[in-house]
Amino acid sequence: MKERIIESAVCPFCACLCDDVVISVDPASNEIKEIRNACAVGTQKFLSTRHADRVQKPRINGKETDYEAAIQKAVEILRTAKKPLIYGLGNSGYDAQRVALEIAKHKRGVYDTSESICHNLLYSELRKGKYPFYYALLDEIRDNANVTIYWGANPIVSHPRHLSRYSVYPLGRYALKGVMDRELITIDVVDSELKKISRWFLRLNPGDDAKLAEIMTRLVNGDTSVLREDDEMDMDTIVKLTDRLKKAFYGVIFVGLGALSSEAATKNVEAIFALVDALNKTGVRYVLFPMKGHFNVMGAVQLLLRETGYPFGLDFSRDRMFEPGKTTVLDVLEEVDAALIVGADPYSSFPKAKAKELCDMPVISIDPFETPTTFNSSVVFPAAITGVEAEGIAYRMDGLPLKLDKILDCEYPSDKQILERIYRALVL
């Protein structure tokens, strides 16, 4: 049989959703023979179908079973639950996210994604309405930006092709010489791989992000009195850097979890919003762009915004269904009495005390891979890997929808199919 070539496959690892991956498949062996254009982590995702950590069979309380029995058990758990939590879904297609949302609505449960942990402060700042949100699609940024700032982010590790596709290296309409026309600035509390390639690398003490942004905002606004007030920071460099920012043709601040989820994150977010606002008021276009992690966390945000007007953390048992701090996942764990976890590992990613709360309730997991969460679940469903063994729709980190292909055949149903079976049995 002739090899099958998939042109322009979309990589389902990170929210860059690189859509230029070329894959050749041997139909006889149902194996990928060659992958071009993906980075190392993306390549590993495509090759993970035979990973030793695949969930092999459905399980109930640790014992292998079949899908039918596991569906019945999952439905029994959800039916008995007064308020279940439906969580994860950042690694699922949009249609799977939609079915999971229907389950949450039907059960008047809580629906949340990692967005409520990673980016909730950003939304809180937006809701205050103090500063406009200067935002742009990645294509516009690639075409225009000649000053690129990564603040508390290291895309070389988290989004390896971000620099080559959207920010630093590509040619743009107004960056005809690519990297030669752009300047890379990194601000972080740790040294990272970006240090070697950044024109400016500003290493801060932990907790100093807001202070730096405030000083720069004052300098942008022409307030030089700040230079006499602070003798701890490298003012000479900050003055030069601010000057560079002001002279940009178009600038972008890609802000990562280093600034958004540290202890001082509330102050950081407000101060960085203020800086972007001040720069725009001087007449230079600057945008603020949060770096999203999981490949389709943005799909879940889009879905919830369309259906409810809110981006994450919804408790359908309450009249006021969206109240960060009350309806978001880390705040409801004492109230919920069962959990349906899809493609996520809260046992590893939640703070320890919060993860422990999951031990007190039945947990249903749908995941292609074994994780501490699947090992601690009452019911486990192996699922196809979306974007490799199942098709789907995902939203890039800037909200652009892209179609994920089914590259290989697979013995497992997709998470969407499993969720649909659960939902159908639940509403009968």
Report the nearest approach of ligand SF4 to the CB of residue 161 (Å): 4
Report the nearest approach of ligand SF4 to the CB of residue 91 (Å): 12
User: Residue 150 interacts with ligand SF4 (CB under 6 A)?
Assistant: no
User: Residue 14 interacts with ligand SF4 (CB under 6 A)?
Assistant: yes
Report the nearest approach of ligand SF4 to the CB of residue 296 (Å): 11
Report the nearest approach of ligand SF4 to the CB of residue 99 (Å): 24
| Closer Cβ to ligand SF4, 33 or 127, answer by number | 33
Q: Give the interface segment with ligand SF4, choosing from 15-23, 91-99, 106-114, 182-190 (CB under 6 A).
A: 15-23
| Closer Cβ to ligand SF4, 18 or 384, answer by number | 18
Cβ distance 230 to 215 under 8 Å? yes
Report the distance separating Cα 49 and Cα 42, nearest Å: 13
| Closer Cβ to ligand SF4, 142 or 159, answer by number | 159
Cβ distance 314 to 321 under 8 Å? yes
User: Residue 159 interacts with ligand SF4 (CB under 6 A)?
Assistant: yes
| Closer Cβ to ligand SF4, 218 or 396, answer by number | 396
Q: Give the interface segment with ligand SF4, choosing from 35-43, 139-147, 255-263, 361-369 (CB under 6 A).
A: 35-43
- Find the residue with minimal CB distance to ligand SF4: 42
Neighbouring residues of 372: CB distance < 8 A, sequence distance ≥ 6 = 345, 347, 348
Among 58, 88, 160, 258, binds ligand SF4 (CB under 6 A): 160
Among 9, 11, 71, 220, binds ligand SF4 (CB under 6 A): 11
User: Residue 69 interacts with ligand SF4 (CB under 6 A)?
Assistant: no
Task: Supply the DSSP symbol for 196.
Answer: G
List the structure tokens of 394: 């995902």
How far is C-alpha 204 from the chain's CA centre?
Answer: 25
Q: Is 371 exposed, middle or buried (0-12, 13-18, 19+ CB in 10 A)?
A: buried
Report the distance separating Cα 272 and Cα 20, nearest Å: 33
Cβ distance 15 to 396 under 8 Å? yes
Over the Cα atoms of the chain, what is R_g?
Answer: 23
| Closer Cβ to ligand SF4, 37 or 262, answer by number | 37
Strand residues in 240-385 grouped as ranges (E): 250-255, 285-290, 314-315, 338-342, 363-367, 379-382
Among 161, 218, 292, 416, binds ligand SF4 (CB under 6 A): 161
Count Cα atoms within 13 angstroms, Cβ side, for 365. Answer: 28
User: Residue 117 interacts with ligand SF4 (CB under 6 A)?
Assistant: no
User: Residue 13 interacts with ligand SF4 (CB under 6 A)?
Assistant: yes
Three-state secondary structure readout of 211-276: HHHHHHHHHHCCCCCHHHHCCCCCHHHHHHHHHHHHCCCEEEEEECHHHHCCCCHHHHHHHHHHHH
Q: Could you tell me which of 309, 305, 286, 385 has the C-alpha nearest to residue 44?
A: 385
Among 25, 32, 35, 42, binds ligand SF4 (CB under 6 A): 42
Q: Could you tell me which of 98, 107, 59 has the C-alpha nearest to residue 80?
A: 107
| Closer Cβ to ligand SF4, 119 or 162, answer by number | 162
Among 9, 18, 101, 297, binds ligand SF4 (CB under 6 A): 18
User: Residue 39 interacts with ligand SF4 (CB under 6 A)?
Assistant: yes
User: Residue 388 interacts with ligand SF4 (CB under 6 A)?
Assistant: no
Report the nearest approach of ligand SF4 to the CB of residue 67 (Å): 30
Report the distance separating Cα 314 and Cα 128, nearest Å: 19
Beta-bridged to residue 36, according to DSSP, are: 22
Among 9, 32, 38, 253, binds ligand SF4 (CB under 6 A): 38
Report the nearest approach of ligand SF4 to the CB of residue 153 (Å): 13
Residue 254 phi, psi (nearest 5): -85, 115
Q: Give the interface segment with ligand SF4, choosing from 6-14, 227-235, 284-292, 344-352 (CB under 6 A).
A: 6-14
Report the nearest approach of ligand SF4 to the CB of residue 401 (Å): 15
| Closer Cβ to ligand SF4, 318 or 403, answer by number | 403
Q: Give the interface segment with ligand SF4, choosing from 140-148, 155-163, 319-327, 342-350 (CB under 6 A).
A: 155-163
Task: Supply the DSSP symbol for 295.
Answer: T
Which residues are near ligand SF4 by CB under 6 A?
11, 13-14, 16-18, 38-39, 41-42, 159-161
